[in-house]
Structure 1
Amino acid sequence: MINILRNREIRILLTVMIGISVIGVILTVILNPMAGIIVFLVAALLISCVILFTIRRYKEIEKLSGYLRSIINGDYSMDIRDNEEGKLSILKNEIYKVTLMLSKQGEFLRKDKEGLADALSDISHQLKTPLTSMMVMTDLLSQNNLKSEKRMEFTKNIEIQLERMEWLLTSLLKLSKIDAGTVTFKKDKVLVSELIKKAVSPLLIPMELKEQNLVIEGDATTSFVGDLNWTIEALINILKNSIEHTENEGTISIFFEKNPLYTEIKISDNGGGIEKEDLLYIFKRFYKGKNASEGSVGIGLAMAKSIIASQNGDVSVKSKKNEGTQFSIKFYRKGSD
C-alpha cells in the first residue's frame, strides 16, 4: 500500500475519489440518512476495489521489472507470456518476443566469437609453419660459407613460402568479406560454357603436366543468374582439388545441364576418391583429409561453398574409394529467371 502511495497520480486519484465520496455521502445524509449510509458503503467498496486492482497491477509490474533485470543479467530462460486480454498482457507478450530475439542474437554473437577465435587459431597455425621455415632458411643464408646452389635453393623456397602466405591471407580476406555479407554478387546471365572455359584456362598446364584428360559435355545455351568472376573462382578451387587427387593420365569430366528448378554442373574424376570419414568435413575451413597434398591449407573448398551458397546455390560431393569423386553444383532458379 505504501509503495502505490508514492505514485503522485495514484495519490491524486484517491484524493479525488475520497473527496467526491465524502461530498456525496454528506449531501445524501442530509436528504436521507439511510441512503447516506448505503452511499458510504458503496463508495468505500469502490475505493477498496480500485486500491486492490492497483496493488495487483503493481505486483505484475514488479514481476516485469524482475524479469527485465534477469534479462540484463543474461538470463533468458523465464517465460512471462499469458493468454489474458489487456494492455499488460500485450506488454508481457511483446517483452517475451524481444527476449527471444535478444536470446537468439546473444547465441549468434557467442557462436560468432567462438568462430573468430577458432579462425584466429587456425590462421596462426597455418602461418607458423612457413614462418618457422623461412626463419631457419634466413639464418642459413646469413652464413658466408654457404654454397651458391644452396643459397639459390633457400631463396626459392622462401619465395614459395611467401607466395603461399600471400594466397592464404588473400583467401581468408575474401572469405571474411563473404561471411560478413560485404560482397555484392552480380546477378547477370552466366553461360555455363563460358564459365567453364575461363575456369579451366589457368589449370590447363597442371593438367598437361600430369597428362590428364578433360571431357566437357553440355548444352552451349545452358545458363544461370549469378556472378561470373566469383563463380570462376569457386570452380577453380573445385577443379584444383580434382586435379591434385587424380593420377597421371586420369580423366576429369565436366557435365552441365538445366532444368525447370536449377542449373547443375557436375565435376567428376577417376582418382583415388575421398575417405568416407572425410566427406562430411571437406567443406569445413582448414580441414585437411587423410589424402590431402603436402601444401594443402584446407581453404579452397570452403571458399567455393561460400561463394556458391551466396548465389542461391548448393554444392555436394559423392565419392568412392579408388573409383573417383563427383562434385555437384546447383544454382537454383527464381521465378523471374
Structure 2
Amino acid sequence: MGEWFAPPRRVTTLSLMDTPWLVPVALLFGAVVGGGLVVLLRAAAHRGERAVSVATAAVPDGVDQVIEILETAGVVLDGSNNVLRASPGAMAFGLVWNKALVHPELVDIVDRVRRTGEPVDEELELARGPFGDASVYLDVRVAMLGSRYVLLLADDRTESYRLEEVRRDFVANISHELKTPIGSIGLLAEALESASDEPEQVKRFAKRMRKEAERLGRLTQEIIELSRLQASDSLDHPEPVALDGVITAAVDQNRVIAESRRIQIVSGGDDGAVVLGDAPMLTMAVHNLVSNAINYSPEGTRVGIGVHSRDGIAEIAVTDQGMGIPEEDLDRVFERFFRVDPSRARDTGGTGLGLAIVKHVVQNHGGDIRVWSKAGSGSTFTIRLPEASHASAPALAATSGEQL
C-alpha cells in the first residue's frame, strides 16, 4: 500500500478589521459581567454590615442604666439567648456565666416567652451558680423587650422560704418540748395517786413533779420572751445602761447554783462601760450566758466574765472550762431548741432557747455575738455592743441605780 497523506487544513483568521460588529458586543459583555460582579460585591458587603449591626446591636435607651442600679437580678438577652446585659445581682445569684444563662429552667422560660410573646411569672428553686451546691429561691419574671430582646428579672425569696421553714420547725419543736414535761407531770400524778399510802414515794414523785413543772414554766416564759423579742427589731426607749451593774446582777442570779456545784465565778476587765439599751434585757442575756457556762462546766472549775471597751465597742466575754462545742455545731448553737448534747441538756433542765434569746437581745441593741470553742478546752461567748456617746454619761448617774 502506498503512503496516505492527509490534505492540508485551511485555517481562517478573523480580525476586528474584517468583523467590526464584534467590538460593541465585546464591550457590552464586559459591562454586563463587571456590573454583575459589582452588584454581588455590594450585596455581600450589605449583608456583612447587617450581620455586624445585629451582633453589636445596642439595647433600647435607658435599659443599661436600669440594669446597673437593680438590686435584684436583671438580664437582657438577644434572639440567640446571648446575654447582652446582666446586673450585679444576676452575677451574685450565679444566673449568668460565660455570657449565657446557667440554668436550663430559665432558658425554657425565655424560649416560651419568645414563642408566645406573653410574659411569664414563676417561682423557681435553683442552684447558686454553675458549680454551687447551695440553692436560691427566686421569683422570676420574663417578658419581651421590644421585638428583638427578652428581659428577665428575678427577686430573691430565699430568706422568706428560710423563715417559713424556721417557723415550721419552731412550731414542731415547741410541740415536742411541751409534750415531754406535760407527759411527765401526767405520769407522776398517776404515780402519786397509786402511792398515796407510801409517804416516801409520795415525796419522791412530788419532787420530780415540781422539777418538771419548773421546767415547763421556764420553757413557757422563754417562749414568751423570744416571741416578744422577735416582735420588734429595735428598742422603743433606749437609756444609758452601765455594764458593771448588768454583770453584777447576772452573777448574783447565778451565785447559788454555782456554789452548789463548787464553781467559782470570776469577773473583771474595764470599769465604767456604758451602752444605750434596756437594762433588764441585757441582764437576761448575760444571765443566760453565765447560766449556760455553769451548767456545762465540770464541778470545781471556774467561769470568767470580762468587760473590755475599745474603739467605741463594749465587749462582754463569758468563758467556761467545759467540754467545748464541736466545730461543726458552732454555726448552730444560736438556733432555737438546738442542743449540742441533748441528754446533758435534759439533766441540766435546759430548754434550748437560752442562746437564741441572747442573740435576739444583742441584735435588738445593734450588736452581735460571737463564739469561740474547742472540744475539751471550753468555750467563750462574746457580746459586742456599741458604746453610748459621752453625752449620755451625765444621765447615767441619775438613772443607773433605778435601772438595775
Where does residue 281 of structure 2 map in the other structure?
230
Superposed displacement of residue 245, structure 1 = 1.6
Matched, 1:244 2:295: yes
- Tell me the TM-score normalised to structure 1 length: 0.68
How do 1:213-292 and structure 2 match up within 5 A?
213-290=264-341, 292=344
Deviation sequence 1:241-285 (CA, Å, 0-9, x none):
111122222111111121224111111122222222322211111
Where does residue 161 of structure 1 map in the other structure?
212
Superposed displacement of residue 233, structure 1 = 0.5
Distance 1:334 1:206 in 2: 33
1:130 aligned counterpart, secondary structure: helix
Relative to 1, partners in 2 of residues 1:145 and 1:333: Cα closer, same or farther, differing over 3 Å? Answer: closer
Superposed displacement of residue 210, structure 1 = 1.7
2:211 aligned counterpart, secondary structure: helix
Distance 1:314 1:146 in 2: 56
Where does residue 79 of structure 1 map in the other structure?
142
Matched, 1:329 2:383: yes
Superposed displacement of residue 193, structure 1 = 0.8
Superposed displacement of residue 112, structure 1 = 3.4
Superposed displacement of residue 150, structure 1 = 1.0
How do 1:11-160 and structure 2 match up within 5 A?
66-67=118-119, 70-71=120-121, 76-80=139-143, 103-104=155-156, 108-143=159-194, 146-160=197-211
Distance 1:113 1:134 in 2: 32
Deviation sequence 1:106-152 (CA, Å, 0-9, x none):
65554333222211100111111112212222222222664121112
Distance 1:165 1:183 in 2: 29
- From 303, 314, 318, the equivalent of 2:357 is 303
Relative to 1, partners in 2 of residues 1:270 and 1:110: Cα closer, same or farther, differing over 3 Å? Answer: closer
Relative to 1, partners in 2 of residues 1:241 and 1:119: Cα closer, same or farther, differing over 3 Å? Answer: same
Distance 1:157 1:141 in 2: 11
Relative to 1, partners in 2 of residues 1:177 and 1:81: Cα closer, same or farther, differing over 3 Å? Answer: farther
1:272 aligned counterpart, secondary structure: coil
- Kept after mapping to 2: 8 A contact 1:266/1:329: yes
2:170 aligned counterpart, secondary structure: helix
Which segment drifts farther, 308-317 or 150-159?
150-159
Q: Counterpart of 2:372 in structure 1: which amino acid?
A: K
2:179 aligned counterpart, secondary structure: helix
2:334 aligned counterpart, secondary structure: coil
- Kept after mapping to 2: 8 A contact 1:265/1:330: yes
Distance 2:373 2:181 in 1: 32
Superposed displacement of residue 156, structure 1 = 2.4
1:190 aligned counterpart, secondary structure: strand
- Tell me the TM-score normalised to structure 2 length: 0.57
Q: How many residues align?
A: 260
Point out where structure 2 has 5 or more consecutive residues left out of the alignment. 1-112, 125-138, 393-404
Superposed displacement of residue 220, structure 1 = 2.0
Matched, 1:320 2:374: yes
How do 1:186-205 and structure 2 match up within 5 A?
186-205=237-256
- Kept after mapping to 2: 8 A contact 1:185/1:311: no
